[in-house]
Each structure stands twice: as C-alpha cells, then as structure tokens.
Structure 1
Amino acid sequence: MSGWIAIAGIGPGDAALVTPEVSQALAEATDIVGYAPYVSRVPARAGLTLHASDNRVELERAAHALQMAASGRRVVVVSSGDPGVFAMASAVFEALEAGPAAHRELDIRVLPGITAMLAASARAGAPLGHDFCAINLSDNLKPWALIERRLRLAAEADFAMAFYNPRSKARPHGFARVLEVLRETCGEDRLILFARAVSTPEEEMRVVTLGEARPEMADMRTMVILGSSRTRLVERPGRPILYTPRSAA
C-alpha cells in the first residue's frame, strides 16, 4: 500500500472531542509522530509505532514523518487542538518545501480538530462571538517587539483576543508584561478568562477583570481569552456566562 501522511488535530483533551475523521486515520496508521504528551494520548496497539519527541524539534519531526511516508508508511502527525493553529501543519509544509522534490508527490492531508481556543470559549459561553484574533505569546520563534506591537494594534481595534502559550517555566516574566500592555491599552475593567486544561479532569475556569488578573493565573495548559469592550458576564446559578454580542455600534 502506498504511504501517506495525515496531520491531525486530536482536540483539547477529552477523547469525545476527537473527530471521527481523525479517529479513522489513527486506526489506519502504522506510525504516530508528535510531541510526547500528545503521542501518549494515542493508545498503543499491534502494528503501530509511536515516535515521541521534544517540543522544540518540530522541523526534524516533520522531516522524519515525510521520510517515513515516502518509504510507504501510513503516518499521522498529531497536534493538540487543530494542527493548523500554532501547530504541526505549518512545520510539515515548511519541511516539505525545503525537502526532496519527490516528497511533494505524497498523499498529504490536514485533518482539523477542536482547538483549545474554541473549547475554552464554548465552556465559558461565547466570548469569541464577534470579531477576534489569536496571538501566540511565545517569543521562541518571533521577537518580543512583534508580540507587543500586535497586542497594541489588536487592542486598538477592540478585538477579543485568544492567547496561546501565555506563560512557561522558561518564560515566566513575559505574561506579566502582556498584562501591563493590556491594562495600558484596554483599562482595568475589561473581562479576561483563564481556562486551564479544558475538557480534562484538571479543568479550571476563572473570569476576572484585567485589574484583578495576575501572571501566575496562567501556565502552558491555560488558554487566556480577553474580551472586547462589549464582552458581557451574565450571572446565573452555577457558572456565569461570558459572551460577546454579535453586533458592534
């Protein structure tokens, strides 16, 4: 059988949020490639080889997957959430562009998944109900000055904002600066959601104002969503509903 490669999103954590299309690809695969915590979510079975690696070797991982597919293997490259959102789809295509011309003839598919951003928004209500943007706060692959510029421009445009990779052990201070920039541009009353480990047993949801937000409220398992100036909090029995109206004045 000819080899192929599927770049698949395995969702935010709960197995029920993995799409049937992705489940079928995983069932047909001979090899699973990805960051170790994501690969560990794929059950082992006879005939399946798991290739787990570190989170800073995306291009090497992608090249390895392409090489295996070219040799006739059925390869699934897994990402959490959706593979096209700050994940492995871009890395695979970057490796494809730089690699052997023959790799461009491979059967390559991107299989979408439910992102952490959308899972967090759904759990909270609908904070992304009007115009929004997504910003990766890691400066591993882009300069901090660009992150800060985009923060200010998005705030000026009054977007709701979804923040990936807000705070890690290697980057403990960057998110504090993010909060400072947001307070300078949005004020202290803007609502902000901290959604940690959504759809897993460790899930934690917290809505505060920017004035109340603290850096330690976020880690690498946290999706942070800042509302626009129109985002509302509806109090009700149990968890309140955070939503942004569909229209703007």
Structure 2
Amino acid sequence: MPDAQDLADLALDIAREAGELARRRRTEGVAIAATKSALADIVTEADREVEALVRRRLEEARPSDGFLGEESGAEPGTSGVTWVVDPIDGTVNYAYGIPHYAVSIAAVEGEPDPQRWTALVGVVLNPATGELFRAARGDGAWLDDRRLAVSTPSAAGALVATGFGYDPATHDGDFARLRRVMPLARDIRRAGAASLDLAYVAAGRLDGYFERGLNPWDHAAGALLVEEAGGVVGGVPGGRPGRDMTIATGPELFPRILDALNT
C-alpha cells in the first residue's frame, strides 16, 4: 500500500494552490462555461481551470497514478492509486458569490469505483474561509491541528443536512425522503456542497447527512473524513455511498436514518 501520509502531504499542497486559484477567480468574476445534467447544473471556467491545475500537479508528482475528475473524466493509471477530484464543489454557490464551496481531493486504492475502492486520503478545503479538513487512513480526521469527532444527537433531535438534484423530475422523491427523516431532526440544512456537508459531519457541526444523486468525486474525500472521525458512511447500492443514496452520521444515528429512508 502506498504511504498515506506522503499522499496526504501532496494532496494538501495541491489543494491549497487550487483553492487560491478558485478564490482569485471568484474575486475576478465568474464566467459560466456550460451546463451539465440540467440547466441549473452549471460549469464555470474556473471549474475547468482548477481541475487542470490539480491534474497537472498530480501528473508531475505521480505520473503513474490514475485520475477521476468531475470536469475531465477518468484516466487509468498503473500504480493502483487513483485521484478523485472535484475542483469546485458547490459551483452554484460559487457562481452566486456564496462563500460555501470547496476543493475536494481524494486518493483511493483499487478500482476507481466507490463500490470497490479503499480511500487512503481525503482533503476538503473551503477557499472562502481557509478551513482545511484532512484525513489519512488510520490517522484520524483533522481541521488544522484539531482532531475531529462525530457528534451524538441531543434529546432535541439531530441537525441533518441534505441536498436536491437539479432535475425537477427527482424533486418529489427527494421531498418524500426528507419528510420521512424529519421526525428525527431538530432542523434541516441544505448548504449546497456535499464535500463540506460531509466535512461538517466529521467535525460534529452536523449530526448527519443524506443525499441521493452524488457522484464519486462528491463524496470520495468527505466520506473518509467521516469514517476517520468515528462516523459511519453507507448508502445504495451495496451499502456504500452511491448514486442512489449516500448517508453519513455518527454510529447511533445511522440506523435510524437508514430505517427512515427505507420506510
């Protein structure tokens, strides 16, 4: 197995550089480059520029590794390590000037498939605030020098985050799932960046998070943060995070949310 700490140091350096580029482009103004799955699902020029920077730095440092990025797709490697990158998670927030977006970088071992890989490193950086969440397998999850731990909901209920797909045809199902979870919740948050939602679960700022429709780059880094902070990450298919469902909570809350979603 590759040395996770070496991979983590590389991911941290690249995330800081990529985050500074994203922050600078935000201050200069955002140009919309394209839409993706729906009209509301946008790509900015900065998304493409930041991903190109990350990919270039990784190729320079580890040319035999694979790459899976939101904007440029998959490139197989020969080392057994694949980097899974979301250059700007929360693009709509970014485009509107809402300071809640992230650069998400993960290194995984095995096939570049969430059902099969083992995450080695996860880094989530919010360039607007400077907060940098990091985890290396077996070394815990950290925010700067503070070790993170998931929370346990109080008697008032759980603070739970979720999200909704861009396709209007999926909204009825999303709202139905939310209604089933609401009896467990003291309140709901919908902040618009899955990697930060997961980082906040790891930090105990949220008790739990669930969402349908995530792609591998949305959860690769954040899921490791939660696991290394003592949490549980699962979903559908196969009991692992996937397009059909991703759930991340502390151990006590996980079966309750899973039961509510399966009702």
Give the structure-1-normalised TM-score: 0.26
Larger Rg: 1
Choose between structure 1 and 2 for higher RCO, CA contacts under 8 A separated by at least 6 residues.
1
